[in-house]
Amino acid sequence: MTYTLFVVLIVLAAILMILVVLIQESKGGGLASNFSSSNAIMGVRKTTNVVEKTTWGVAIAMVILSIACAYVAPQASTEQSVMERSATETQTTNPTNTQGFGASQQVPQMPQTPAK
């Protein structure tokens, strides 16, 4: 349950990070130019500081959530991996197509006809 919660929080933080980075003002102006009214109220430098601090905050939150998620990740109950188990439970290759094995290497026997 906690693992799923951490995964959901990481996804939400990633989406928030995408939105915050898109809002930041870049060399080309970015999407921050659409918020010119807030720049006039708080000042251009304060808006940049808020967006930059939000970016750092979300990045730190993602790192902390990722470490916590790795700590509470479910552990395997056996030493055998899922791939090994599925390979041993079911045969995944066709013996007639595998080189060096199976029917493709066998010489077909000709049916014997009775002597006249």
**What are the residue ranges spanned by the domains of the chain?**
2-71
Residue 110: strand, helix, or coil = coil
Q: What is the pLDDT of residues 2-52, one digit of tens each?
A: 889 999 999 999 999 999 988 887 665 555 555 555 545 555 556 678 888
Count of other CB atoms within 10 angstroms of residue 115: 4
Q: How many CB atoms lie within 10 A of CB 13?
A: 20
Q: Average per-residue pLDDT in the chain? A: 74
